[in-house]
Amino acid sequence: MINKLPRMMKAAVMKTPGEIAIEEIPVPEPAADEVLVKVMAVGVCGSDIHYFEHGRIGSYVVRKPIILGHECAGIVAACGRNVTRFAPGDRVAIEPGVACGKCEFCKSGRYNLCPEVQFLATPPVDGAFVQYIRHREDFLHPIPDHLSFEAAALIEPFSVGIHALNRARFQPGGEVAIIGMGPVGLMTVIAAKAFGASRIFVSYLEENRLQAALRLGASHAIPGAAGNPAEAILQLTGRRGVDLAVETAGHPSALKTTMRVVKRGGKISIVGLPAVDEIGFNVPFLCDNEIDIYGIFRYANTYRQGANFLSSGVADAASLVTDRFPLEQTRDALARAMTNKAGSLKVMVYPNGFPAGE
């Protein structure tokens, strides 16, 4: 149960890129349609690292102190007067993008495209490296008691993989190639397994991530440094290619690999964002083979599906957590994720201490 709420709380505030200060700030009071959540686990995302290192991602620029962190889960601490779905003590995963609910995109179910979305830790919106956060009721999702807060926080990157498969209308029995094994790529392996993929091919540079992919359900792990992962995947599929190729690395060469390994009439989901805006495509190849390409921007309507998948035990997502830090060491957590890609899989921060059994 939640005890009496404190008046002040700790927050890890990024004052400038590379500088994190632990500050005391007021505990926010939830509005009528909001819930106050005691934050129990927050994953360090690639976007957090970019803001920490560079202060910007594309047009999103850090212009004032900001609180990072958006992969989060916790316990309901208090509810606004109009909240009906939750009560103090409930365990929840926090979907970080709060959409307006009124525009054409929201009404059509594609609320990830809402132009008014307020996304945690995307400037100027503060994020979840805090002890308490308030969030609109309809973007909170219940989690069962047996699902750890760590796993629940990972529903956020898991949702990207689910959305990549949903957009491509992936069917059970199909074959998938996932190029790039960062946290989103690894979670996409779990998504492909949950969707009933018959074989899952993965490729990446780091051996530790390939081994993690195999533990999570990948069928074949192909080192990207081996020279020609596309040829290896084609050989393994009898040169047919895969039904769906998912690019999560954000690199032009990875995108070229997806183009090579997708079957005639197959589909490509592009998740990763390369450093350059424009990359050449082989248009005759796309047309001659009727390749469908799907751009993936975050996700929509995935959290319940994600919670159900992870609760079912399809894979041990929490096993990806290799590094754990208290809130007071948020700067160390960000630095670890930034500099230890060969050793760390997922870095997690605990704003209210390490939960028992996690």
What average pLDDT score do residues 16-37 get? 98
From the candidate CATH numbers 3.30.160.110, 3.30.530.20, 3.90.180.10, 3.40.50.620, the one assigned to the domain spanning 8-142+316-350: 3.90.180.10
Categorize the per-residue pLDDT at 300 as very low, low, confident or very high, splitting at 50, 70 and 90: very high
Question: Which of 2 and 286 is assigned the larger pLDDT?
Answer: 286
Rounded to 10 degrees, what is the CA torsion of 114, 184, 347, 349?
30
**Topology alike, domains 8-142+316-350 and 161-295:** no
Does residue 305 sit in helix, strand or coil?
helix
Q: Where are the alpha helices (DSSP H) in 115-241?
A: 149-153, 155-167, 183-194, 207-216, 229-236
What pLDDT shows up at residue 329? Answer: 98
pLDDT tens figures, 243-260: 999 999 999 999 999 999
Separation CA 247–CA 219 (nearest Å):
17
What pLDDT shows up at residue 227? Answer: 72
Q: What are phi and psi of 105, to 5 degrees?
A: -70, -45
The yes or no reply on domain 161-295 and CATH 3.40.50.720 is yes
pLDDT tens figures, 203-252: 999 999 999 999 999 999 999 876 789 999 999 999 999 999 999 999 99
What average pLDDT score do residues 145-173 get? 98
pLDDT tens figures, 331-358: 999 999 999 988 999 999 999 998 765 4
pLDDT at 3 over 80: no
Categorize the per-residue pLDDT at 326 as very low, low, confident or very high, splitting at 50, 70 and 90: very high
What pLDDT shows up at residue 1? Answer: 44
Question: Which of 72 and 341 is assigned the larger pLDDT?
Answer: 72
> Contact, 95 vs 133, CB < 8 A?
no
Rounded to 10 degrees, what is the CA torsion of 100, 102, 104, 110?
50
What average pLDDT score do residues 283-299 get? 96
Which of 169, 194, 222, 203 lies closest to 313 in space, CA to CA?
A: 194
Q: Which residues contact 259 (CB under 8 A, 6 or more apart)?
A: 245, 268, 281, 282, 285, 291
Domain map of the chain by residue range? 8-142+316-350, 161-295
Separation CA 304–CA 6 (nearest Å):
31
pLDDT tens figures, 103-127: 999 999 999 999 999 999 999 999 9
